[in-house]
Structure 1
Amino acid sequence: MTADPLLDRALVEEATKKSGLIWVRGEGSPARALWHVWHDGAAHLVGDGPGEQPLPGLVDGGVAEVTVRSKDKGGRIVAWTATVDELAAGSEAWEAAVSELKGKRLNAPDAERMTSRWAERCRVVRLTPRGAVTEMPSGSLAAVPLPTGVTTRQAVPAGLPKLLFRRRRR
């Protein structure tokens, strides 16, 4: 984007810090919105365990494409390429990342033992920016939603709106 790598690095860091979600496309997988924490010059993610976000295509030593959106308007701000590193559970880097991640994890079903569950059954991944930012794609990136098991159980009964929005007669 710019001729100055320091400005590119600052743009990546500020935009990623302020965004609640980043769109990450791992090797051989579609882009997916993931929550993260910016810590020590990289985005950190936790997932691939029960109750956590999936991290498809993010393999240790691989490469990922990251697109950062604006927190308030939702538009794309910057795109960058990252080196993927899986942090070993219990290592110093893992402990530092998890201490930041646990403060940002919303609606955890087991907040008191969350970090031990992450160590046993999840992956903590660091996405470190490499080089300059990439060019933003032009046009819409709209795609068909990914398949999910989450569905509505059954249709809303026809009479429900009348029951909910009926005015009381006196």
Structure 2
Amino acid sequence: MTQTLLDRALIEEATKKSGLIWVRGPEGPARALWHVWHEGAVCLLGDGPVEQPLADLGLREGATATVSVRSKDKGGRLVAWTARVSELAPGGEAWTEAVGELKAKRLNSTDAEHVTERWARECRVLRLEPLGETSALPDGSLAEPPLPTPATTRRPIPAALPKLLRRGRRRG
């Protein structure tokens, strides 16, 4: 009983303080997701056109997922735990409370005034509730190559950039 209480406390504190968690659902690879800790569970928002993708993880009502939490300052794994997935119905009391927390933590929302209405139309809000004790952390690295994506940030630097940077140093 004492170990379960200690595990729950570790799960809650580590998850509250971490900006990202790694979630591995029944399908697909683990993915880093932003979240909030609310009422004893992780709340996730996703699957909308401009929100984080969740569908390919297989996170459905009643499924289980493995959550790994990293240290906010060092970035290393602190704790891993198993969660039961439930989907919150849009407009319900639990959904409204969770969305209020998510909205407060959502950065760079383009439509902050109407974001909750958009989330109700386009997105899913999931609740990942810990099932009990923590999982043993692996000895080795779980590093994997990045998933293929058409996104890119590598472009040739503009020819004038070095000159502009040198000029800026002289002024400052």
TM-score (norm 1): 0.91
Q: Which secondary structure state, in structure 2, belongs to the residue aligned with residue 14 of structure 1?
A: helix
Alignment root-mean-square deviation, CA: 1.8
Amino acid of the structure 1 residue aligned with 2:145: V
Q: 2:34 aligns to what?
A: 35
Q: 2:50 aligns to what?
A: 51
| Structure 2 unmatched runs, 5+ | none
Q: 2:103 aligns to what?
A: 102
Q: Which secondary structure state, in structure 1, belongs to the residue aligned with residue 21 of structure 2?
A: strand
Count of matched residue pairs: 167
C-alpha separation in 1, matches of 2:96 and 2:164: 53
Write the deviation string for residues 27-72 of structure 1: whole angstroms up to 9, x where unpaired: 1111111010000000000010021111132122111110000111
C-alpha separation in 2, matches of 1:92 and 1:163: 54
C-alpha separation in 1, matches of 2:164 and 2:105: 40
Q: Which secondary structure state, in structure 2, belongs to the residue aligned with residue 108 of structure 1?
A: coil
Q: 1:127 aligns to what?
A: 128
After superposition, where does 1:1-150 map in structure 2 within 5 Å? 4-55=3-54, 56-57=56-57, 58-150=59-151
C-alpha separation in 1, matches of 2:132 and 2:145: 31
Q: Which moves more between the two structures, 24-33 or 114-123?
A: 24-33
**Distance change (3 Å), C-alpha of 1:149 and 1:69:** same
| Structure 1 unmatched runs, 5+ | none
Amino acid of the structure 2 residue aligned with 1:11: L
Q: Percent of aligned pairs with the same residue?
A: 67
TM-score (norm 2): 0.90
